[in-house]
Structure formats: structure tokens, C-alpha cells
Amino acid sequence: MAATSSAPPLTQPRSTVAVIGLGSIGGVAAGCLAALGRFDVVACVRKPIDKLTLEEPNGTVDVQLRVLADPQKAEPADWVLLCTKTYQTEAASPWLARLCTRATRVAVLQNGIDHVARVAPLANGATVIPVIVYYNGERLAPDRVRLRQGASSDFVVANDAAGQAFAQLFAGTPLRLQLGDDFITIAWRKLLINAIASPITALTLQRQAVLRRADVKELALALLDEAIAVGRAEGATLADDEAARTLATLFTFAGELGTSMYFDRLAGRKLEVDALTGAIVAAGARHGIATPLNNALLALLRAINDATE
């Protein structure tokens, strides 16, 4: 994978970037783009805010955004960043209907797999770009987010024209981007990370340091073995030592970091179960591959969701 970093010409007309969902991922992305001063950034939210404060490795910056709380007031945008939870995609459809035309590019910054299949039917013929997100974002308040970086890149997109355009969009921001030639494998590698870090931190109500326990590492490796078998059946090219590689990647993040599922459970919000563990179990069932440990986690996570609804 090769990094891209060249900025667009200064004479390029200002583009409009609409960000749907200003949580930990969307807030960081919106803050980074707005801080460039190169784009008109529109935040599509449920509750308006006056400004956004972004804490990032080089300091803290306050940015002004145009904020919309009513989809009916939205106008077509050049770019749309869909940063909601996967289970909120359908609820975002009124925004997509107003923001998207065939000329729009929709970048899907969501967990799981099947980004295009999930979003394309709602996007009015817009180009849908699946994006794998690696940075750790934390929403400290409705108007304040924190960026922490651990892995070697913050975004990975397909190495095609749409992915290269997304790379240009974020050129000059603190967010590091790589282009990948085998997107199925890339998506499954990210799913493997989420499939252990998210459920285990949510169920134990502990941050990522819990993954370093010897007994939890043993459980994580067993969960990964199941998921890797499923990923290979789905077409992902996963290495013989993929489970160990996945844990090594996770351990590049500081132990005090949480996961989005951990923070959702602390806040009493619905957990993003079916896009992560649920996706593994469902794919395993399609291929006749047993996933008893992931199935056990799925039952526990769904029980938590049932208690929060």
C-alpha cells in the first residue's frame, strides 16, 4: 500500500463536504477538514452546536462549522461523509436523499463490511466509497472530540479513482491515508480487530488494557481463529499468523484507549453488534463454518442491547 499526500491546487473551487454524524469518528473528520480552511464543511446533526473543538496530537483547535439539524434544509454536496453507526444508516436516508446527486461522492466511515451494498440504495446514484478507519476518536462532549493515533495509517481506501479522490480530500490533515489493492482483505483485517477489541471491552467494561491479560489474549486468539476461517471463505487473503498480527496491531494502541462499543455501553446506547460479531456469525452460517465462541459473544451483546431498548 502506498501513501498519498499531495494537496490539490489552490485554484481549485471550494468543495462542500457534508458530515453526517458528529460523534467520535465524524467529529474528528469534520474538525480536520474544517481546520484546513479549504472546504465548506456542513455538520448534519440532531442537536446544533456553536463550534467544534478538536484535540489532536499537535494541539487543540476550535473550528466553525455550518450546522444543520433538519435534512429538509440540506442541499447537494460534493462530498458526503457518512459517520453514523451501521444500524443508523437507514435513519440517515433523509440526509442522503437531500445531499446526494450522481456527482456526489459518499465516503462511508463505518465499521463492518458491505459498505457499498448498505449505502448505495440510499445515495441517489452517487459514487459510494468504503473507508476503513483506524484512528481512535473519543467524543468528550457534543462539541469536543479527541484524536489518538496508533496504527500506521488512519484511513485505508481502495487504490482506484474514487479512493485517490478521498486521499486528496484529506491531504494536509493530521489523518494519514493509505491506498490498498485488495480491499476485501483490508476490510476483513479491520473487522478482525473490531471483533475482539469491541466486544471484550464492552462486556468487561474495561479499556483496551484488558486485552493484554494472558487469559483474555487466549480467548482473543480463539475468537480470531474462527473469524479468520470465515474471512478466507469470503475471499479475504489472510496469513497463517493473521491472529498474532491482529493482536500486534491492537497493541500499538495505548491500553487506556476505549472502543466505540465500550463508550456506547458506558453511555447506555445501543451496541453496534450485528455489523461486527454478527457479520462474522452470519457469514460463517452462509459457508457452513462453526463459530461457537463468536456466537456466544453475539448472544451476550444482543442481550445487552435488548436491555437498553
Of the candidates 47, 73, 85, 190, the residue annotated as catalytic is: 190
Tell me which residue of 182, 135, 190 sits closest to 163, measured CA to CA. 182
The β-bridge relationship of strands 136-141 and 66-68 is: unpaired
Residue 190 annotated in active site: yes
Query: DSSP letters of 157-180?
Result: EESSHHHHHHHHHTTTSS--EEEE
Residue entry with cell 479491520: 190
Q: H or E element: which one contains 275?
A: none
Tell me which residue of 156, 20, 25 sits closest to 88, measured CA to CA. 20
The β-bridge relationship of strands 15-20 and 155-158 is: unpaired
Residue 136, Cα to own-chain centre: how many angstroms?
A: 9
CA distance 135 to 102: 30
Q: What is the DSSP letter of 138?
A: E
Q: Is 116 helix (H, G, I), strand (E, B) or coil?
A: helix
Task: Confirm if 112 and 276 have CB atoms less than 8 A apart.
Answer: yes
Sequence-distant (≥ 6) Cβ neighbours of residue 144 within 8 angstroms: 27, 52, 53, 54, 55
Residue entry with cell 487543540: 60
> So which residues are the catalytic ones?
190
